[in-house]
Chains A and B, each alone.
Chain A
Amino acid sequence: MDRETIKNKILTIFDEEFEIVNPGENEDLREIHGFDSIDAIELLREIEIMLDTELTRDEKKKAMDIRTFSQICDYVESLSADRG
């Protein structure tokens, strides 16, 4: 899955699931959009559905440090690459 596809899918998830429309690439999602730890867990579930895979506990833990939209795209890109 290429970067642009990932970006568009995450934008759709943000819009539909979190009512956050077009967040800035490097905005702090928690500070600016109130995206909290509950939302992060929900996003991981959406990513599992998107990639049709189950994330490991370590992979999920890594996501807890993510703060920006750009970092989310990096994270999904990495997961996608690992799974071929």
Chain B
Amino acid sequence: MKRRVVITAASAITPIGHGHDDITKSLTQGISGVKKIRKDDVLTDKVDAGVFGTVDYDIPFDFERRYRKTMGPVAFYACQVAKEVLAASGLSQSFVTSGRLGVAFGSIHGSPTVQRNIYKNFYARDGAGYSSIGAVDYLKSMVHTTAVNITRTFGITGRVISSGTACTTSTQSIGFGYEAVKFGLADAMLCGGADEYDTTTVAVFDNLLACSTDFNDRPHLTPRPFDVDRDGLVVGEGAAAVMLETLDSAKKRGAPILGEIIGFACNNNGGDMILPNKDGMTAVIRQGLECAEISHDAIDYISAHATATKMGDAIESQAIREIFGDRPMVTGLKSYMGHTMAACGAIETVMTLYMMADGFVAPTLNLEQVDDRCAGIGHVTELRETDIRIAQIQNFAFGGVNTALIIQRPE
């Protein structure tokens, strides 16, 4: 059984806004969501990075306490975008609870805020700390906290997939959800990813000398994917979700179709845990094209992973150049908001859907002078009013995981 899979709803909470109108305004006006890092009592004074992609606006979390009690900030984000997508999809409550709707959702490691408090309690009270660990602390901090808070809050009883593969988490969520619907294992899948404000993640990348530090006093000028002056990634927060279902069911119930997923691939470099690998990238891109049964020249637009690290952007550019040359338009959307970790693939997918719908391509922000090592691909440096028919969203993660997701504009 192979069924066509479409996206019938999408939503995102990002450093550059919440939902279609705010996000497209930022993308078309070149507004950055990168701000100075907030001081905390643990790490900010110990890391060199001084910026963060920050969600600094109010979000009306109005879940009842019985649902809220097991949510850390990351699950709040996840449940909010899930709520918006469920509402926008128009799926009936009886279908939502039927067992034929599943959830594919993840974060990089649950709620680090809650984990930090657990360890603070452990080590701050001379052995008396153990009993102070709350009954819900694990439920808030476990790696599948986003997925199961969504299922509990909305009564979803279908299959649960909770990928936790760092930067490829939510591309995998969408890809695995696509496969579940395509092959008849579910009739619809709510897919996405989330991550919360977290300075421990900053510390991880800071320690690897991968964080941007040259623009601490001018946050909006970093990250700078593909630019000669790029100096590393900026950690960010956010969440995004999409609803996937079969083309037939979407048509039957008259649901809005935002795009069709026509291909997905995932592989591993089989080697180094950190270094980007051109062979792995080109292989996953080719596998994605093969899955979609299209030629490389059918791709109009590439949402590059483009974290703005020196090596990552150069290797990714080589991979794009090898397969596509300079024909497709290429944007590094992290330039607007930093690297939202587990959420990035889903956020970049939602942004691509918005651009498809509205007929524009956002430029890579802060790309003033293309690094020679990143040249030879179709960099977009100014806002373009143009149609995207087929787009590829590519993401690469620590551990050598690579993903390519291909979506097509509705017919």
Q: Which residues of A contact B (CB under 8 A)?
A: 18-19, 34, 36, 38-39, 41-42, 45, 48, 54
Contact = CB atoms under 8 A, between A and B. Distances in A.
Interface stretch (B25-33, B62-70, B73-81): B62-70
Given A38-B136, A42-B136, A48 B131 contact: yes
B135 A42 contact: yes
A54 B136 contact: no
Nearest to B133: A45
Contacts of B70: 38
Contacts of A39: 69, 135
A18 B131 CA distance: 19
A48 B131 CA distance: 9
B134 interface: yes
A56 B315 CA distance: 58
Contacts, number: 22
A18 B65 contact: yes
Nearest to A19: B65
A34 B135 CA distance: 16
Interface in B43-96: 65-66, 69-70
18 contacts: A18-B65, A19-B65, A34-B66, A38-B70, A38-B135, A38-B136, A38-B139, A39-B69, A39-B135, A41-B134, A41-B135, A42-B135, A42-B136, A45-B131, A45-B132, A45-B135, A48-B131, A54-B131
Contacts of B132: 45
A13 to B, nearest CB: 14
A18 B134 CA distance: 14
A39 B132 CA distance: 14
Interface string B133-174: 011100100000000000000000000000000000000000
Nearest to A36: B66
B127 to A, nearest CB: 11
Contacts of A45: 131-132, 134-135
Given A19-B65, A34-B66, A42 B131 contact: no
Contacts of B139: 38
A41 B70 CA distance: 13
Nearest to B132: A45
Contacts of B66: 34, 36
Contacts of A34: 66
A36 B69 CA distance: 11
Kindly name the residue among B65, B70, B135 whose own CB sees the greatest number of chain A CB atoms within 10 A: B135
Contacts of A42: 134-136
A51 B135 CA distance: 19
A64 to B, nearest CB: 12
Interface in B100-144: 131-132, 134-136, 139
Given A19-B65, A38-B136, A41-B134, 13 more contacts: A18-B65, A34-B66, A36-B66, A38-B69, A38-B70, A38-B135, A41-B135, A42-B134, A42-B136, A45-B131, A45-B132, A45-B134, A45-B135
B226 to A, nearest CB: 48
A34 to B, nearest CB: 5
B270 to A, nearest CB: 42
B230 to A, nearest CB: 46
Contacts of B136: 38, 42
Q: 10 nearest interchain CB pairs?
A: A41-B135, A19-B65, A34-B66, A38-B135, A42-B135, A38-B136, A54-B131, A48-B131, A42-B134, A45-B134
